[in-house]
Amino acid sequence: MNGWLASLARLCGSLKTTVVTLTALAVVLAWGTLYESRHGTAAAQHDIYQAWWFTVLLGVLGLNLAIAALLRWPWKRSQTGFVVTHAGIIILLLGAMLGFQFGVDGHITLREGESADHVVFEQETVRVTTPEGKVLRSITLDPERRPLPPEGRRYRLGDGLALEIQQVHPNVREMLVIEGGGVRPNPAVRVRLQSAMGGGATIQEWLLPRDPRRAAVSLMGMVELQAIEAASDAELAALTMPPGDAAPSGKGVIHIDVAGKHFDLSVAEVAGKITPLGDTGFSAEVKAYFADFRWDNEQRNPVSVSDAPNTPAVLLRITGPNTETTSFLFADHPDMSIVHGAKKESQDVKSVYRFPRPPRASQIAVVIGPGARLHYIVRGGRAPFKTGPLTVQTAVETGIADWRLEVVHWVPDATTRTELQPQPIDPADTRRFPALRVALRQGGQSSPATWVRWNSPAPLSAGDARVIVGYGWRTHPLGFTVRLKKFEAKRYEGSDMPADFRSHIVIEDNRRGITREHEVWMNNPAVYPPGWLGTRGFKFSQSSYREGREGEPNESTLGVMWDPGWPLKFIGFWTICAGIFIMYYMKTYFFGLRPRSGGAPKET
């Protein structure tokens, strides 16, 4: 070897290159230590130790040592320690490179009784897969330190496909969107409550009386805001009747709509009687009244556990042409009925049971109907009873402090949908709901922009391409299942300071048909599978825990590590030790006998 190639080899294997490489490596490691203290272990691993340039730096050092040894070929016996030491360092570097690139350093968090089959890394990752589960690409995100540009960023997936990440938001909320144009009547009102106190506090809510999830909303537990639909003038009169005059019997009223007509039946008056419903051909019978309804599991019968109207309910039978239906109606849940028996249920019959009683908290109700009329009711709590007509965008005094009620918008034929909208982060609220807005592109075709929520994969399609996009922490499969059987924490006597805490885990490996139990505590990890010198083992160590409150299960966090380069590190370490031992303690054998007095050493 001569010329420029020989000069390049001498440069790569020189002591100067070694010093420069080691100095650069020391600087990077010092920087990595500071970086990890500021940004966390996951960020340091991703940005430094798993970065391609750090692997190149280790490779340059290994190449420098290898060339330095090869330049001395053929090796003499006196160079044995030198060669062995260099070989050990190179093997150690290869193990470190393998561990940095492919190792696992994450955690699993389990409640008692829960299982996990993958390790979690604190790295936000977008995972794109085919519907069959083939991974097209995993994209690591760090929106805080490396935010997306305003125009977003596009990532190639292969075969002409690309995923465009348009926006990343650390906190979003699901917002209700109300629009008109529905094919069926579905009334909805947007109500505003406004107070001059507290800087002009304002509360706005959409209320839909036909949707039990959105018919009422509690405002700080002090006021309940609700919407009620009145199908007739009689039902409106019953709803707006002052509490002192309503339901003098104390057992409530049943409102029945049948064959286009409305009937109000007092439970106390018609109980046990068959009451004809006009000329409709239908009749009603209140077979039983339950002031405090409960279901007796032993007797398999409904009972009333007291005479107080805590949970009023009635058993109503309606008969008519080819119809006989018996149902339980509940005053506290007017939209729910449980059919007890039916020969043929008529779709033309609607029954609602109402038990007028003063609510514990103040109630503000907006009554929709009949027709296009709106009314309001204020009752319960310390607020005086008030009622009256409402018009859109006209505020009325509620009598609750200085709160004013206003119907901002009224939609008689509402359609509903939900969409995600970015929300500001409240420092006092530790809950976060991250999401990103993405689109799939194939050539000139594109999917609609779609929100992908944290741990809620969403399908995307563009042209004939179909993918599944997931957003969450990066994970690594274990190949087996870890179940937290029990967690226990012992404390020092007379204090709440933990003296010892440990997790009892069960490892279930269905592929090998192995089930093993381990106890994991501080400085006593569990390894599975053990393998030779731990080459295949995941190491589980106790990291942290959270004790459950009021009967909740305990929660344990286990640190999980797996280093595929560990065998090379083990071999490299002992090889370096052997080389040092040879150089300093086997001089007699490798460097010849000690010189005799008055003569040269004798070669062996």
**Helix residue ranges per DSSP H, 437-591:** 566-585, 587-590
Select from 532, 112, 194 the least CA-distant residue to 395: 194
Which residue from 267, 262, 263 is spatially nearest to 247, judged by alpha carbons?
Answer: 267
Residues 6+ apart with CB under 8 A from 53: none
- Compute the distance between CA of residue 228 and CA of residue 545 in angstroms, rounded to an integer: 47
**What is the model's pTM?**
0.56
What's the whole-number mean pLDDT along residues 121-132? 90
CA distance 325 to 525: 64
Cβ atoms of 207 and 191 closer than 8 Å: yes
566-585 helix and 80-102 helix, angle to the nearest 10 degrees: 160
Q: Among candidates 48, 49, 41, which has minimal Cα distance to 122?
A: 41
Split at pLDDT 50, 70, 90, the class of 331 is: confident
Mean pLDDT of 562-589: 85
Architecture per CATH, 107-118+476-564: Sandwich (2.60)
Give the relative orientation of helices 80-102 and 52-70 as an angle to the nearest 10 degrees.
170
Extract the tokens encoding 391. Answer: 């018009």
81 has a pLDDT exceeding 60: yes
Average pLDDT over residues 117-140: 90
Write down the pLDDT at residue 68.
86
Model pLDDT, residue 368: 92
Mean pLDDT of 4-30: 85
Report the C-alpha gap between 343 and 508 in whole angstroms. Answer: 52
Runs of H (alpha helix) within 264-322 = 267-270
Do 113 and 483 meet the contact criterion of CB atoms below 8 Å apart?
Answer: yes
d(CA 291, CA 199): 45
**Cα→Cα distances 561→47, 121, 528, Å:** 19, 11, 11
Residue 426: φ, ψ to 5°: -90, 115
Residue 203 to residue 267: CA distance in whole angstroms: 38
Q: Enumerate helices (H) and strands (E) in the chain, giving the number of each.
A: 9, 36
Give 304's Cβ-side CA count (13 Å radius). Answer: 16
Q: 95 versus 530: which is more confidently predicted?
A: 95
Whether residue 457 contacts residue 135, with contact meaning beta carbons closer than 8 Å, is answered with no
CB within 8 Å of 89: residues ≥ 6 apart:
62, 65, 572, 576
Q: Tell me how crowded residue 451 is: count the other CB atoms within 10 A of its CB.
A: 19
Spatial contact of 356 and 246, defined as CB atoms under 8 Å apart: yes
Stretch 57-61: mean pLDDT, rounded? Answer: 89
394 SS3 class: coil
CA distance 302 to 298: 11
Question: pLDDT, tens digit, for every residue of 386-431?
Answer: 899 999 989 888 888 788 899 999 999 998 887 777 877 777 666 7
Closest CA to 254 of 225, 277, 226, 280: 277
Please state the φ and ψ torsions of residue 256, each to the nearest 5 degrees: -125, 130
Cβ atoms of 460 and 440 closer than 8 Å: yes
Rg (Cα) of the chain, in Å, rounded? 38
Q: Please say whether the beta carbons of 258 and 320 come within 8 A.
A: yes
The per-residue pLDDT for 575 is 92
* Cα atoms found within 13 Å of the Cα of residue 248, Cβ hemisphere only: 2
Residue 248 has pLDDT above 50, yes or no: no
Is 379 in a helix, a strand, or coil?
Answer: strand
Look at 48-62, 319-333, 344-358 and tell me which has the smallest mean pLDDT. Answer: 344-358
More confident residue, 223 or 312: 312
Domain boundaries in the chain? Answer: 3-103+567-590, 107-118+476-564, 124-171+421-474, 247-355
Given a cut of 90, whether residue 150 has pLDDT beyond it is no
Inform me whether the pLDDT recorded for 84 exceeds 50. yes
Mean of pLDDT over the chain: 83
Question: Strand, coil or helix: what is 292?
Answer: strand
Q: Amino acid letter at 212?
A: P
Using 50, 70 and 90 to split pLDDT, how confident is the model at 122? confident
Tally Cβ neighbours within 10 Å of residue 47.
18
Q: Is 228 helix (H, G, I), strand (E, B) or coil?
A: strand
Q: How confident is the model at residue 344 (pLDDT cuts 50, 70, 90)?
A: low
